[in-house]
A and B are shown apart, each in its own frame.
Chain A
Amino acid sequence: MDPLSTLGPVESESQQLKPRVAAPAADVAHAAFRKDLIAAIPKLRAFALSLASHADHADDLVQETLMKAWNHQESFQAGTNIKAWLFTILRNEYFSQLRKRKREVEDANGEYAGSVMTPGGQESQLDMADLRIALQQLPADQREAVVLVGASGFSYQEVAEICAVPVGTVKSRVNRARNKLAAILGVEAAEQVAGKAGD
């Protein structure tokens, strides 16, 4: 079973912070844990924003993940990959909610695309908006896999551990996601055109 996936309902976790049991010998480890937790927030939030179709939902996921991590920090093995541990908690929470609610909707109209500020030039804004819309058209498991492998910096093996599936399944999901994104964005055609133009 994945980490923390069997914990109680979302509401119960968020309602209160559990004071950590005093243990002077663990203070150094706790300080390191807290520092790593804070440092991971931007990456954790980027992952949540990639999974969820709305920024508010993404922040709910981040908040719940931080609460669970804080309340169960004794279960984290110092020296192991805290980023992978946190991502696992977050994706378990996401898919748990998805199963419970069964109402995650596609964002084909670009509502989410407009909810995240995009700096840069017009071309950059259009590129990012297109990519966000395209990501939301993927099945959740493929979206998760392509983001973790393609952008979050995890290896296939690490993603297999995070998602609790075989490495081959991760590769297959990434491959299918990549092909769908390319088709939606028309990247293949553009690259082929560019290649021919360079001949």
Chain B
Amino acid sequence: MRHHFKQPRTISSAEELAMTNVSAPPLDDMIGRRLRRHYEHLEDQPIPDRINCLLEALDRTEASRERRC
């Protein structure tokens, strides 16, 4: 079973209408700034050991595969 991330589709007229009617929050206000600061802080958090262990497991799997080739 193959899964694909769908490519951006054409915006329908109904969606265009919705985009026109719904005021787009610019998020360049205090809320947006706080969100971005919070998110940047989360990105800077150290990667937990168990995630690093998973990466090591991926590497071992890859090395094992290459040895068989």
Contact = CB atoms under 8 A, between A and B. Distances in A.
**B and A form one assembly:** yes
Interface of A: 3-4, 6, 17, 19-20, 22, 24, 34, 38, 41-43, 45-46, 49-50, 59, 62-63, 66-67, 70, 72, 74-77, 80-81, 84-85, 88, 116-119, 127-128, 131-132, 146-147, 149-152, 156-158, 161, 166-169, 171-172, 174-175, 178, 181-182, 185, 187, 190-191
A85 B4 CA distance: 8
Contacts of A75: 2-4
B58 A190 contact: no
A161 B37 CA distance: 25
Given A75-B3, A150-B32, A59 B38 contact: no
11 contacts: A4-B3, A22-B65, A34-B62, A74-B2, A81-B5, A116-B42, A116-B45, A131-B34, A161-B5, A166-B15, A168-B21
Contact count band on B: 35 or more
Interface of B: 1-9, 11-12, 14-15, 17-19, 21-25, 27, 29-32, 34-39, 41-45, 47-48, 50-51, 54-55, 57-58, 61-62, 64-65, 68-69
A175 to B, nearest CB: 5
Nearest to B5: A85
Contacts of B27: 146, 149-150, 174, 178
Contacts of A187: 29-31, 34
Contacts of A166: 12, 14-15, 18
A127 B41 CA distance: 12
B65 A172 contact: no
Nearest to B65: A19
Contact of B18 (A3, A17, A149, A171): A171
B5 A178 contact: no
A109 B12 CA distance: 43
